[in-house]
Structure 1
């Protein structure tokens, strides 16, 4: 370093007092880039050969953060162990009039004003000439920016592309350009250099391509890339329509399923209600006393119903002698359990009465006198006769059938006879 010897020589030639100590600064402001080396140029002039006492202090905006960076006392150098260990030292071996300081791998926090003081044991200084001040500024290149796109890139639409770096000193500026399929640069107001935005309006398919954002400052630059693909407008409409149609279809399906569920539920409730009403209104069937006899199992369902109808009307019809041509008919219509007729001592023949399984009996309503039914009125012999009277007719006395001696009801039952009430018959043998 030539400045120190030259200053000493000039002082000797000019006859300056050698008793005056003065610190000189080669550059009051130093700029460095993060990660690089910074040199703070300092030296002092004096004719004394004694060892100097050197102290360098970093002054920051916050006084509480002042830091003792480097000292040289009694032939030994001492560096701050917390922030500058293995990064700060004297540029030349000490002791030396050149007390320049070298800072390696500079960081953003190294920025500030460095105050270096030199003292000699046999010389003194006045007016603060033994102090040198150097400002250090550490620049930070922009970090890799992040590219984003906002909006739907379809024909006729608008999009905004943004670019932002998280760090950088000073604040970076942003420049957009398109590289493919053709090169294109953009200017304000389409792009904002400080905010890093690029706004494209009324998009066309020709605007599709690769866009690059360049973030730069005095310390360096970095880039990010984004691809813009402008789609035709009808594609967006088709997609939107398909989505809406799918949602509507799904809603209709759910509505139909809900209606079917409600309909089936109501139908089931109605059926259950009707079944409950039928069960409540139904009357338990009554068993006829004569059906419990041993011979009742050979009577058919129709024969039972006919016998029941006959039993209900036996008071309305007088008893008539049974027909000579009657025969016993079983439930299956065969002649099983047929017994020969019994010879009546009175000259007649007793024959079991056939079952009226296939005949329907006409209803007979007895005449009424002053609102009172006359059950003892004579029933007309010929129901089909055209002659009718409005008054009550005399009734013949009812003939009671008697069984011959030795013939009982149980005997007839064992023979297979079925007790059936038969309505009155005409002389021709037809039912009345």
Structure 2
């Protein structure tokens, strides 16, 4: 009897627990970054559920070490949505009155940090129900660029590369315009359809190429124009580069030479400017004056008669400044050269008789 009573009590409790039922079946979503995600959570209640309705959304992050957090709550006719700092202002109930059986929410501008497991709990005691939904946030392909790797000359090898950023896996699709032109084979050696290899290029490979990158949440594309040209004159290019380099070096050397020369001139001008001194006139030579004076007297003696030689010689010799005889000659003295009388007469010299003078100064 007791056993039957316990079994009936458990069945009644189970029925009461299952009185609130969530009818939503979705369990996971994949959305692109920046989009809006809708988490459905529709429910029904039974007449036995008489307590106020309580709806609660909880986020469980992928990291198990982080605790769960409430993001939005409905209770007693009021909405509380300021629990989460990351989702503040981006989460709201879809229905204006969740009591009508719709506890769904929307999250706008979702970010990579919004990934995780979201749980919808509906309580209307004694009934309780919950539903978990998984959210995966992906990044659309973006920043896609195409470029040519190598030389596009005839007979050369090059590759067409396509690069993009986004959540893996990424799918690449190449297309050439117009479609009737020859299309290069896709490289299978790298197992990467983002690369097209071209060997022994010909003008047929010239054209416009389009690369489209896709993943589960979006796509992006880029355009590349390829022109296969004849081989360039490599020798002429090298010669031109050498000549240009030599001209540049010559010009640089000339510039350095001019700068050095200008500096030397400026330095010389400064030195000359500081070394200028006022010239001092040379002193008058007294020796030459005395000699010219004596020479003039000798010439005068040659033209005088013997009668007046005595008085003239005394007066003239007394007029010679004593300082001229006392002055020590600056140049070394040499013995007078002896010239024969016949030579002097031949040269036109006039013989002059110089009277002798005694100790007391009288002429003898």
TM-score normalised by L of structure 1: 0.49
- Alpha-carbon shift at residue 161 of structure 1 (Å): 1.6
- How do 1:104-119 residues align onto structure 2 when only pairs under 5 Å count? 104-119=108-123
Whether contact under 8 Å (1:88, 1:101) holds in the other structure is yes
Output one character per residue of 1:10-55: Cα deviation in whole Å (capped at 9) or x when no partner: xxxxxx9456444423211233344443222223433324322222
Q: Which has the higher helix share?
A: 2
2:78 pairs, out of 64, 76, 79, with 76
What SS does structure 2 have at the residue aligned with 1:211? strand
Q: Which of structures 1 and 2 has the larger relative contact order (alpha carbons within 8 angstroms, sep 6+)?
A: 2
Which position in structure 1 is the counterpart of 2:91?
A: 88
Name the count of aligned residue pairs. 243
Q: Which has the larger radius of gyration?
A: 1
1:123 maps to 2:126: yes
Task: Tell me how far apart the structure 1 counterparts of residues 244 and 32 of structure 2 sit (CA, whole Å).
Answer: 63
Which position in structure 1 is the counterpart of 2:164?
A: 165
Task: Tell me how far apart the structure 1 counterparts of residues 100 and 142 of structure 2 sit (CA, whole Å).
Answer: 41
Whether contact under 8 Å (1:57, 1:66) holds in the other structure is yes
Whether contact under 8 Å (1:176, 1:185) holds in the other structure is no
What SS does structure 2 have at the residue aligned with 1:95? helix
- Alpha-carbon shift at residue 72 of structure 1 (Å): 1.8
Whether contact under 8 Å (1:155, 1:231) holds in the other structure is yes
Whether contact under 8 Å (1:174, 1:193) holds in the other structure is no
What SS does structure 2 have at the residue aligned with 1:61? coil
Task: Tell me how far apart the structure 2 counterparts of residues 113 and 203 of structure 1 sit (CA, whole Å).
Answer: 53
1:153 maps to 2:152: yes
Whether contact under 8 Å (2:187, 2:195) holds in the other structure is no
Task: Tell me how far apart the structure 1 counterparts of residues 182 and 68 of structure 2 sit (CA, whole Å).
Answer: 50
Task: Tell me how far apart the structure 1 counterparts of residues 27 and 346 of structure 2 sit (CA, whole Å).
Answer: 152
In structure 2, stretches of 5+ residues that fail to align are: 1-13, 254-339, 350-364
- How do 1:145-224 residues align onto structure 2 when only pairs under 5 Å count? 145-166=144-165, 168-180=166-178, 182-183=180-181, 188-189=186-187, 194=192, 196-224=194-222
Q: 1:20 to 1:153 in 2, by over 3 A?
A: closer
TM-score normalised by L of structure 2: 0.57
- Alpha-carbon shift at residue 195 of structure 1 (Å): 5.7
What SS does structure 1 have at the residue aligned with 2:347? helix
What SS does structure 1 have at the residue aligned with 2:52? coil
1:54 maps to 2:52: no
